[in-house]
Structures are given as C-alpha cells and as structure tokens.
C-alpha cells in the first residue's frame, strides 16, 4: 500500500452508522464500505427501506437499533463493540417536523429531541468504551445541518436541535481529546433526501437554490466523501470542527 492509500484507506475499520436504512445514511455506508471499512448500518427498520441505484457491499451489516431508546442503544453498541470493537461512530439519524413555531407541542419537541439530541449523546456515550481503545484512533462524526447556522421558518425546533449537535461535538472533542477520540461534525446543505422532501415546496425550493453559488442540490456521494475523509488517517489532526457541505450557501452574501 503506497502513502496515498495509507492516508485514505479505511481498511480494517469497524464503523457504526445510524439512520442507515435510506438516503444519505445509506449512501455514506456504501462509500465507507467501498473504502475498506466493515460497516454496521443501524436503523429502526434494520434493513434498506428504499430502492438503491447501485450495488450494496457485503461488508455492510444492517441491524436494528432505535437511537431514541437509550437501553436499545446501550445493548446494540455493546453487542457490536464486544465482538470486535468500534473505531468510528457516525451519528446520522435525524428527524424534522414542519409547522409554525407556535403550533409545536411538547410531544413534537420530545420526539425530535429524543432522536436529534439524545440519540447523538447516548450513541456517543455508549460507544466511548470501544472508541477510546481503537488502534486507529476513535472517531465520532456527527451530522448536523445548515439549520445550525441559519434560521429557517416552520422548523425552529429542528434548527435548535442541530445547533445542539454542534455543541455536543465541540464539548466531546475537548473532553475526549486525551482519550484517543476525535470528534467532528458535518453540516449538509440541501441534498435529495426524504427529510428535505417533507419540508419542501416549490417556493422554498426556488429560494434555496437561488441562495447558493452552485445553484444545485448536492449529490449524496459529495457528502459521503467528507465522511470518509474524517474517518481516515488523513484527518488525524482534526477535532472539534464542523464542515459545511452546502454548495457555498453559508458564504453567499448579495
């Protein structure tokens, strides 16, 4: 293996991806496996729930886990960790609800936060014993959102929850810096996904695409490539950072 391959290969890594049954979680699981990792694709369904245009590598194991259920998280991560360790955790599972801020109920908030905030925290907590002893330097990669930086109408609690993800990222990066664990996050812009479709209408789509310099949606592989990089030896001096993969949206003024 030459120097370039050594820097970017994920050979030998055991990677956990939450929310892996569809969309961006499935796409990043596939690319991680193609780069050499053994991937545990976790979701409530425990399987691929969409038509996938391509081949799914045999090195992905799809299994059930509900990130909103702390006991389920504890059990599943211990099961994976005790059988061979965990080198990388990717907290990708997330949900949103679209409605005016004054109409959100406590039930709505509890549901969203149980996945977007508590799920990230509990997965990180229960993966910690295995990440800290990884021979490859443990990694946590949290999926945040452009909504952690920008305000979007009718998804205010989602904006709040994704801001919390970046807060968790920075806090854990500092606390676990001497524990053999690097913690970063990635904030996707607009990618074709079921979640985006749930809050999208023609007017919002026009506004969004006109607001970014590249004027197009991102491709799933363009996000997955950043995930693979942050999991690789090439990113061994990066921690506590958030990376916006957004077509230049955050940089766009007038």
CATH number at residue 196: 3.40.50.720
pLDDT at 141: 99
106 has pLDDT over 60: yes
- Taking residues 133-160, report their average pLDDT: 96
Closest CA to 141 of 238, 7, 36: 238
Do the Cβ atoms of 13 and 136 come closer than 8 Å? yes
Residue 101 lies in a domain: yes
Residue 252 lies in a domain: no
pLDDT at 192: 72
pLDDT at 199: 53
Coil, strand or helix at 53:
coil
Residue 248 lies in a domain: no
pLDDT at 52: 85
- Which domain covers residue 107, as residue numbers? 3-243
Query: Cβ neighbours of residue 51 under 8 Å, at least 6 residues apart?
Result: none
Q: Which residue has the tokens 């702390």?
A: 70
52 noted as active-site residue:
no
* Torsion (CA) 145, 31, 127, 23 in degrees, nearest 10: 50
pLDDT band for 207, please (50, 70, 90 cuts): confident
Do the Cβ atoms of 132 and 79 come closer than 8 Å? no
Residues in the chain: 254
20 has pLDDT over 70: yes
Report how far residue 33's alpha carbon sits from residue 12's, in angstroms, rounded to the nearest whole number.
10
Determine the straight-line distance between the first and last CA of the chain, rounded to whole angstroms: 47
Buried b or exposed e, range 217-245, using 16+ CB within 10 angstroms: bbebeebbebbbbbbbeebeeebbbbbbb
Instruction: Single out the catalytic residue among 111, 158, 217, 254.
Output: 158
- Phi, psi for residue 196 in degrees, rounded to 5: -65, -35
pLDDT band for 193, please (50, 70, 90 cuts): low
Residue 253 lies in a domain: no
Digit-coded pLDDT (tens) for 26-72: 999 999 999 999 999 999 999 998 888 889 999 999 999 999 999 99
Residue 237 lies in a domain: yes
Residue 254 lies in a domain: no
pLDDT at 3: 92
Number of domains in the chain: 1
Q: What does the block give as tokens for 73?
A: 């998280």
Report how far residue 242's alpha carbon sits from residue 187's, in angstroms, rounded to the nearest whole number.
7
Residue 164 lies in a domain: yes
Report how far residue 118's alpha carbon sits from residue 191's, in angstroms, rounded to the nearest whole number.
24
Q: What pTM does this model have? A: 0.94
CB atoms within 10 A of CB 16: 28
């Amino acid at each position: 293996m030459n120097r370039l391959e050594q820097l970017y290969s994920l050979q030998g890594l055991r990677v956990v991806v939450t929310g892996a049954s569809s969309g961006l979680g499935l796409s990043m699981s596939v690319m991680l496996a193609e780069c050499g990792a053994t991937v545990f694709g976790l979701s409530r369904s425990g399987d691929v729930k969409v038509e996938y245009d391509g081949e799914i590598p045999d090195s992905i194991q799809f299994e059930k886990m509900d990130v909103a259920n702390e006991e389920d998280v504890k059990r599943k991560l211990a099961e994976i960790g005790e059988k061979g360790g965990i080198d990388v955790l990717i907290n990708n599972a997330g949900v949103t609800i679209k409605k005016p801020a004054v109409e959100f109920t406590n039930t709505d908030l509890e549901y969203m936060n149980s996945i977007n905030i508590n799920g990230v925290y509990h997965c990180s907590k229960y993966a910690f014993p295995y990440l800290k002893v990884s021979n490859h330097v443990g990694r946590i990669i949290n999926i945040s959102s452009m909504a952690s930086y920008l305000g979007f109408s009718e998804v205010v609690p989602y904006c709040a929850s994704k801001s919390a993800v970046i807060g968790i990222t920075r806090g854990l990066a500092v606390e676990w810096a001497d524990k053999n664990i690097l913690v970063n996050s990635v904030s996707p812009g607009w990618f074709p996904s079921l979640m985006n479709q749930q809050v999208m209408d023609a007017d919002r789509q026009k506004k969004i695409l006109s607001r970014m310099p590249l004027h197009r949606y991102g491709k799933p592989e363009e996000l997955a490539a950043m995930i693979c990089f942050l999991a690789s030896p090439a990113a061994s001096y990066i921690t506590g950072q958030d990376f916006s993969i957004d077509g230049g949206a955050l940089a766009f003024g007038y």
